[in-house]
Amino acid sequence: MSPKPKPMPDPAHLGPRLRLGVSRCLLGDEVRYDGQHKRDEFLVDVLGPYVEWVPVCPEVEIGLPIPRESLRLVGDPAAPRLVAPRSGADHTERMLAWAAARLDGLAAEDLVGFVFKKDSPSSGLFRVKVYGEQGMPARTGSGLFARAFTERFPDLPVEEEGRLHDWRLRENFVERIFVVARWQQLLRDNPRPAGLVDFHAAIKLTLLAHSPAHYTELGRLVAGAGRTPWPELAARYFSRLMDGLKALATPRKHANVFHHLMGFLKDHLDAADKAELLAAVQEYHDGLVPHIVPFTLLRHHLMKHPVGDWVRRQTYLNPYPKEMLLRNHV
């Protein structure tokens, strides 16, 4: 009798809960300028059970009251001022000084990423309104705190809650924060080239589904791991890994990974099972069924047959808690 296959690593048990930064109003706290909140159902109810939130409200933390006068960005989009249009009060220097100190504190928090409030003059990531001299806005800016955060932590996953309503962006972001959690576990448990080799072996197919170019590049980097000092190697690997995972996985790239995995089953499936699996992958590629259909069928066969631990350790097969149902829609 063949030995019982080892279970796939459970992303819900990666040590400490994922510490994820978030704009405080998105959790339901009434801290906005009008005394209201912007509670986000996905963040609180779906993602919330798996993370420890690190909430931030820049306006409140620099001492502004609730409620308060609204703020806006004005001037040069590359270096805008944070101004209260009614009173003319300029909070730019106060905000920047606070942000620098706050980011020093966040650097010690082991964050896996941050979810920002869209359109906010402090926390919006993309297309924030910047008002010119004639009083007309152009959506060309980023919030002062959001910009400072991404400059300080360029490799961490960041998103706006509005963009997370897009299923593909949602799945991509969640997958990336769990990759960061796995990376943090590596740094805690085995921070050396041998640990990196194991880490890369487990994440190879996840990377292939996002960026074949990064898959090749990082394979070469890891192959020469012993020739580079560990701090330099780790920083370069993580930066290039996170850059590659920003690329959205597509049906074509997922189908490529499916076919790669099917190669491990060629000696274990009969003609009917092979035909069923190939048909499911093709239907997904053609947009007729969601990712979860061929994924579940393939995962079933991989767990049933003796395909080896390398396959079962692939994070692609268990990227985040299945209860989140993210692959039902992509």
Mean pLDDT over 207-222 rounds to 97
Count Cβ atoms below 10 Å from residue 291 Cβ, excluding itself: 19
Query: What is the average pLDDT score of the chain?
Result: 93
Answer positive or negative: Cα dihedral of 281, 285, 287, 291: positive
Q: Is the pLDDT of residue 12 over 60?
A: no
Tokens 């944070």 belong to which residue?
82
Question: What is the predicted pLDDT for the residue at 320?
Answer: 94
Termini Cα distance of the chain: 38
Element (H, E) at 299: helix 292-304
Question: What is the predicted pLDDT for the residue at 16?
Answer: 67
Question: What is the predicted pLDDT for the residue at 2?
Answer: 39
Q: Are 77 and 141 in contact (CB under 8 A)?
A: yes
Pick the closest to residue 205 from 324, 313, 294 (CA basis): 313
Residue 225, SS3? helix
pLDDT band at 6 (very low <50, low <70, confident <90, very high): very low
Q: Are 223 and 201 in contact (CB under 8 A)?
A: no
pLDDT (tens digit, 9 = 90+) per residue, 95-106? 999 999 999 999
How far apart are the C-alpha atoms of 65 and 57, rounded to whole Å?
12
Pick the closest to residue 299 from 258, 249, 268, 329 (CA basis): 258
Q: Is the pLDDT of residue 214 over 60?
A: yes
pLDDT band at 3 (very low <50, low <70, confident <90, very high): very low
What is the percent of the chain where pLDDT is above 90? 90
Question: What is the predicted pLDDT for the residue at 4?
Answer: 43
How far apart are the C-alpha atoms of 25 and 115, rounded to whole Å?
11
Mean pLDDT over 85-104 rounds to 97
158, β-bridge pairs = 114
Residue 21, SS3? strand
Q: Which residue has the higher pLDDT, 34 or 330?
A: 34
Q: Are 81 and 73 in contact (CB under 8 A)?
A: yes
Q: Which residues contact 61 (CB under 8 A, 6 or more apart)?
A: 98, 102
130, β-bridge pairs = 73, 138
Question: What is the predicted pLDDT for the residue at 7?
Answer: 44
Against a cut of 0.85, is the pTM above it?
yes
Mean pLDDT over 92-117 rounds to 97
Nearest-10 Cα torsion for 25, 183, 50, 174: 60
Q: Is the pLDDT of residue 172 over 90?
A: yes
Domain boundaries, the chain: 18-165, 167-330
Q: Is the pLDDT of residue 42 over 60?
A: yes
pLDDT (tens digit, 9 = 90+) per residue, 225-283? 989 999 999 999 999 999 999 999 999 999 999 999 999 999 999 999 999 999 999 99
Q: Are 206 and 315 in contact (CB under 8 A)?
A: yes
What is the percent of the chain where pLDDT is above 70? 95
Across 134-230, the runs of DSSP E, i.e. the strands, are: 137-141, 158-160
Q: Is the pLDDT of residue 47 over 50?
A: yes
